[in-house]
């Protein structure tokens, strides 16, 4: 039977054991009340480990997360500060693997600390803003502690029955919000090159951030766009209200935007509340190869820290600093490039740190996130390099052409040397 309490009465020592492995809900579904409680009470329990895929709350810092060891699939959002401080353990995996790894016990889950909406008349709680691995964690955990937040929308899709919750912590507080990014002139130029690949009836997968937001703003004249994505922000609302996103031409889930994570502001959350135009699903559906293969005109949009001259993509690490993550990139790159009438785009600026660092490089400084054999189109503010089906020599030529002009001569020399010794 579910125990009810409020935030002031929550005593985690009554439910957690020394050595427990904890899984948090992530992103805007992070249960901030429960995270705060663990920060305050974790030392009394001892030897705790916790996993969270991404965090935007700002609660988890090297100064606060000292009573448990924190791990993640990447340094995304405010976890980047944890990574830079050496306080974050990285588990290299795709976001689509997190749920299965929890179910298999490879990511330990003795306790699931999640955020849900208030229950409906049938006693089911919506997963609210995050549905990706929440059910997997709730099914695996010895104890499920749910932050039942009055301000979390009841979104169609994944639900958790009240009977599956051991402790319900009743709160009413604003969920984590992520404001839309400031869009620069460079972002707008990148977006213009990418948007020309998105035609009427296309099905979009994208993330959140300046370039995705800029791309979505350029699609107001399209017709019958669809959505099948791992995450979406406020731009989804804009295009749906304008009648651009209808999902009318999708072969599956016709009329419905499929999504796994809502990452945005109150405007997005209010729009999603009991809205039949959206369905929140786990990664076993959003990222599944068999599901994605049923969609034609699928255009996937992802980003990178750097790309080498053969098309290999690094979206994780710059030198010694782990700054990103694999996320869902590989799943969606493969799906978009194989979709009839679709494509896969890696969109990024050509340089970093005010133009001092080149992001199209002779050799990657970090791991290969996406293999060159999977990569389709690379876009920078200087154009688009279509790589699929091209020789290594031609790939190099096309990538140099979309690098910053200040680096092209050096890249040409490097390309010559690479050809001489073999790719």
Average pLDDT over residues 213-221: 96
pLDDT of residue 308: 97
Asked whether the predicted pLDDT for residue 236 surpasses 80, the reply is yes
Give tens-digit pLDDT for 43-96.
999 999 999 999 999 999 999 999 999 999 998 899 999 999 999 999 999 999
pLDDT of residue 5: 87
pLDDT of residue 64: 94
pLDDT of residue 156: 97
Asked whether the predicted pLDDT for residue 422 surpasses 90, the reply is no
Asked whether the predicted pLDDT for residue 190 surpasses 80, the reply is yes
Asked whether the predicted pLDDT for residue 423 surpasses 80, the reply is no
Structural domains in the chain, sorted by start: 3-171 (3.40.1080.10), 185-421 (3.40.1080.20)
| Confidence tier at 23 by pLDDT (50, 70, 90) | very high
pLDDT of residue 320: 72
The token pair that represents 78 in the structure block: 């405010």
pLDDT of residue 420: 81
Average pLDDT over residues 127-138: 96
pLDDT of residue 193: 98
Torsional class of 353: left (φ above 0), alpha (ψ -120 to 50), beta (otherwise):
left
pLDDT of residue 304: 94
Asked whether the predicted pLDDT for residue 159 surpasses 90, the reply is yes
CB neighbourhood size of 84 (10 A) = 15
pLDDT of residue 416: 87
Average pLDDT over residues 224-230: 97
Give tens-digit pLDDT for 284-337.
999 999 999 999 999 999 999 999 999 999 999 877 778 788 889 999 999 999
| Confidence tier at 415 by pLDDT (50, 70, 90) | confident
Q: What is the pTM of this model?
A: 0.95
Asked whether the predicted pLDDT for residue 37 surpasses 90, the reply is yes
Give tens-digit pLDDT for 335-368.
999 999 999 999 999 999 999 999 999 999 999 9
Q: What's the mean pLDDT when you consider all of the chain?
A: 95
pLDDT of residue 182: 93
| Confidence tier at 30 by pLDDT (50, 70, 90) | very high
Asked whether the predicted pLDDT for residue 133 surpasses 90, the reply is yes
pLDDT of residue 158: 93
pLDDT of residue 10: 93
pLDDT of residue 317: 86
């Amino acid at each position: 039977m579910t125990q009810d309490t409020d935030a002031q009465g929550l005593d985690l020592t009554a439910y957690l054991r020394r050595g427990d492995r904890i899984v948090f809900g992530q992103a805007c579904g992070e249960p901030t009340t429960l995270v705060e409680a663990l920060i305050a009470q974790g030392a009394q329990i001892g030897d705790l480990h916790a996993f969270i895929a991404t965090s935007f709350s700002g609660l988890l810092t090297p100064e606060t997360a000292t009573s448990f060891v924190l791990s993640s699939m990447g340094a995304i959002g405010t976890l980047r500060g944890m990574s830079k401080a050496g306080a974050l353990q990285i588990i290299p995996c795709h976001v689509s693997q997190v749920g299965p790894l929890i179910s298999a016990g490879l990511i330990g889950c003795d306790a699931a600390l999640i955020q849900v909406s208030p229950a409906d008349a049938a006693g089911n709680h919506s997963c609210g803003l995050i549905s990706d691995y929440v059910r997997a964690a709730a099914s695996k955990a010895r104890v499920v502690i749910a932050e039942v937040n009055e301000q979390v929308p009841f979104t169609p899709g994944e639900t958790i029955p009240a009977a599956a919750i051991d402790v319900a912590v009743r709160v009413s507080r604003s969920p984590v919000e992520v404001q839309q990014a400031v869009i620069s002139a460079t972002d707008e130029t990148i977006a213009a090159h990418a948007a020309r690949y998105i035609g009427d009836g296309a099905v979009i997968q994208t993330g959140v951030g300046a370039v995705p937001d800029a791309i979505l703003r350029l699609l107001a004249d399209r017709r019958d766009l669809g959505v099948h994505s791992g995450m979406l922000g406020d731009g989804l609302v804009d295009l749906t209200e304008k009648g651009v996103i209808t999902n009318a031409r999708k072969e599956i889930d016709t009329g419905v935007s499929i999504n796994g994570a809502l990452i945005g502001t109150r405007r997005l959350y209010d729009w999603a509340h009991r809205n039949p135009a959206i369905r929140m699903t786990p990664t076993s559906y959003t990222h599944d190869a068999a599901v994605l293969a049923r969609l034609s005109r699928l255009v996937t949009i992802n980003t990178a820290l750097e790309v080498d001259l053969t098309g290999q993509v690094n979206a994780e690490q710059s030198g010694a600093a782990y700054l990103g993550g694999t996320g869902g990139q590989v799943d969606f790159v493969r799906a978009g490039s194989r979709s009839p009438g679709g494509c896969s785009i890696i969109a990024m600026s050509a340089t970093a740190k005010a133009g001092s660092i080149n992001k199209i490089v002779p050799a990657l400084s970090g791991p290969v996130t996406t293999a060159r054999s999977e990569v389709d189109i690379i876009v920078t503010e200087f154009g688009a390099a279509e790589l699929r089906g091209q020789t290594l020599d031609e790939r190099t030529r096309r990538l140099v052409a979309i690098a910053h002009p200040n680096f092209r001569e050096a890249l040409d020399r490097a390309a010559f040397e690479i050809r001489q010794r073999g790719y």
